[in-house]
Every structure is written in structure tokens, then in C-alpha cells.
């Protein structure tokens, strides 16, 4: 009791004792700071393993050409002007299909996510489309649109629509209903509600769908460019396969991979800027 009274009589001493006590160490559970250019480490590691395997002859050059052989082949194709021409044609197809797919997928998600009638009409049809592989529709696309550019762009768009729709629709329908009630209480009109509540709530899911759509556009491009095509990276690879030119095929694969990686990085950068208000583990 005496100790308690003396401690109460001298609050400064009690505070000093409390301060001197060892405190449990705070555990850091977050992933940590972002590594500058960290996304390049994975591709660099793969390139290093490829180079090492080729230099030590662990990788058979008859099956996979060495990186320096691929670079030399790419230089030859660039000198002829073939690689640039095929790349521009492929990029045009992929970007057009991606653009149409994103616009249609986003529009359908908004219709289904913000309206009960639209939800009843659109979502069921989109779930059926989701269950049908886009590749299974290629024979119909050829019958309806022929084997020209329209068929290729429409097929790419079909690959893109589903992931954009699914992720955007999920984000819209996951918006907390309390925000909707608050918007009604403060008297927001329809446009203000969409701008202040719907768009911020749906953007994270929309960007996820966009990233998946970018990947889908390049996957579809590889397929459609090997169906009676006369130009493009896929056509170049198909021709190389006929003559056993492994280095040319690898050049095409590297171009696909690099452009897919770069477009994903661009989408990530735009996403980080657009969603700078969020505090997430991604940093």
C-alpha cells in the first residue's frame, strides 16, 4: 500500500518507470517498400537461365535457339523491314479488338450492374457466353465474316469482353449499399451518384478486367493470325514453322511477350495514377 501511495504521490517517477519498461517489438506485416524496376527481375532471371543453358549446351540448340541467335535473327528481320511491318499489323489488330471489347464489356456491365431489368436480361446471357470458349466461335465467325480483318478483330473483342464485363459487374454490385443510402440522403442526382460513388467503387475491378482483357487480346491474336492470315507476327511464325526456322518462331514469341508485358505495365501505371487515393498493399 505504501508503494502505491508513493507512486501516486510522484506521478513523474511513475511515468519514468513506465517509459523504461521494455515494450514488445512491433511486427511489420506489410510486404515492404516497392523494389525499383522489380518487375524486370523475373524476365531477367529467365533470360539468364536461357543464356546459361545455351552456353553450357544443356539446352539443345536444335530445339531452342540461343538468345544471341534469336537477336541475330531479329536483326536480320528488322533489316529487311519484315518484323516492323508484321508487328504494326499485329498491334493494330490487338488494339482494335481490345478497344471494342473494353467498350462493349464496360457498357454491358454498367447496364447490368445499375439496373435490375438490365441485370435480368444481360447477366444471364453473359454467363452463358462465359461458358462458351471464344475459340469455339471461330468457325461461326469465319462463316459470318469471312477470313479477313473483321473476323480477326471481332474474335479478339470476344476474348476481351468477358473478363472486362465480369470484373466490372462484380465491382459495381459489390459497392456498399450504405454509400447508396448516403447519396440519397444528401440528395445526389443520378449523374452525381455515378461520378462520386459508382466510378470510384468500380474502377479497381474495371482495371483488373482491363489487365485480363489485354492478356486475352494477345492470346486471341496468336490464334487468329494463324488462320489464313497473310501478315502479322502469327503469320510470320506459321511460315517459319513450315521451314523449321526455330529462331524466327522464338523472335515472334519474344515480341508477343514483350508487347504484352509493356502493355500490362502501362495499364498498371494508369491504374496507380487513377487510384492514387487508395492505400493498399501494392503501394
Position 206 scores a pLDDT of: 93
Q: Is residue 112 part of a domain?
A: yes
Question: What angle, rounded to 10 degrees, do the helices at 199-224 and 233-242 form?
Answer: 30
Largest CA distance in the chain: 98
Position 164 scores a pLDDT of: 95
Q: Is residue 166 part of a domain?
A: yes
Position 1 scores a pLDDT of: 46
Whether the CB-CB separation of 163 and 218 falls below 8 Å is answered with no
Position 27 scores a pLDDT of: 64
**Per-residue cell: 145:** 465474316
Q: Is residue 47 part of a domain?
A: no
Instruction: State which residues of the chain have pLDDT below 70.
Output: 1-32, 279-283
Instruction: Report the first-to-last Cα separation within the chain, whole angstroms.
Output: 53
Whether the CB-CB separation of 281 and 30 falls below 8 Å is answered with yes
Provide DSSP, 137-153.
GHHHHHHHHTTSHHHHH
CA distance 62 to 108: 49
Residue count of the chain, please give it: 283
Q: Is residue 9 part of a domain?
A: no
Q: Is residue 218 part of a domain?
A: yes
CA distance 243 to 236: 11
Domain interval for residue 128: 67-274
- CA–CA distance from 55 to each of 50, 66, 251 (Å)? 9, 8, 19
CA distance 217 to 98: 6
CATH number of the domain that residue 163 is part of:
1.10.3720.10
Q: Is residue 2 part of a domain?
A: no
**Per-residue cell: 29:** 506485416
Cell numbers 478497344 label which residue?
Answer: 99
**Per-residue cell: 25:** 517489438
Q: Is residue 191 part of a domain?
A: yes
How many independent structural domains does the chain possess? 1
Position 119 scores a pLDDT of: 87
Whether the CB-CB separation of 112 and 123 falls below 8 Å is answered with yes
Position 107 scores a pLDDT of: 94
Q: Is residue 267 part of a domain?
A: yes
DSSP state of 25: P
Amino acid at each position: 500500500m505504501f508503494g502505491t501511495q508513493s507512486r501516486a504521490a510522484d506521478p513523474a517517477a511513475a511515468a519514468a518507470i513506465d517509459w523504461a519498461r521494455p515494450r514488445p517489438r512491433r511486427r511489420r506485416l506489410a510486404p515492404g517498400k516497392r523494389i525499383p524496376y522489380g518487375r524486370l527481375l523475373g524476365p531477367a532471371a529467365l533470360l539468364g537461365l536461357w543464356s546459361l543453358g545455351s552456353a553450357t549446351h544443356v539446352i539443345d540448340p536444335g530445339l531452342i535457339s540461343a538468345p544471341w541467335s534469336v537477336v541475330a535473327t531479329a536483326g536480320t528481320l528488322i533489316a529487311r523491314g519484315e518484323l516492323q511491318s508484321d508487328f504494326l499489323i499485329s498491334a493494330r489488330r490487338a488494339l482494335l479488338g481490345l478497344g471494342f471489347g473494353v467498350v462493349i464489356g464496360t457498357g454491358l456491365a454498367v447496364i447490368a450492374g445499375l439496373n435490375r431489368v438490365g441485370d435480368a436480361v444481360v447477366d444471364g446471357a453473359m454467363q452463358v457466353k462465359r461458358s462458351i470458349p471464344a475459340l469455339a466461335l471461330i468457325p461461326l465467325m469465319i462463316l459470318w465474316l469471312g477470313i479477313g480483318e473483321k473476323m480477326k478483330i471481332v474474335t479478339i473483342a470476344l476474348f476481351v469482353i468477358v473478363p472486362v464485363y465480369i470484373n466490372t459487374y462484380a465491382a459495381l454490385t459489390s459497392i456498399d449499399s450504405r454509400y447508396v443510402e448516403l447519396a440519397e440522403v444528401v440528395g445526389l442526382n443520378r449523374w452525381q451518384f455515378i461520378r462520386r460513388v459508382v466510378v470510384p467503387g468500380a474502377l479497381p475491378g474495371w482495371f483488373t478486367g482491363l489487365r485480363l482483357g489485354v492478356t486475352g487480346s494477345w492470346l486471341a491474336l496468336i490464334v487468329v493470325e494463324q488462320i489464313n492470315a497473310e501478315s502479322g507476327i502469327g503469320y510470320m511464325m506459321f511460315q517459319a514453322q513450315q521451314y523449321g526456322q526455330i529462331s524466327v518462331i522464338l523472335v515472334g514469341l519474344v515480341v508477343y511477350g514483350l508487347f504484352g508485358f509493356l502493355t500490362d505495365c502501362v495499364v498498371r501505371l494508369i491504374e496507380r495514377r487513377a487510384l492514387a487515393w487508395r492505400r493498399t498493399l501494392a503501394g
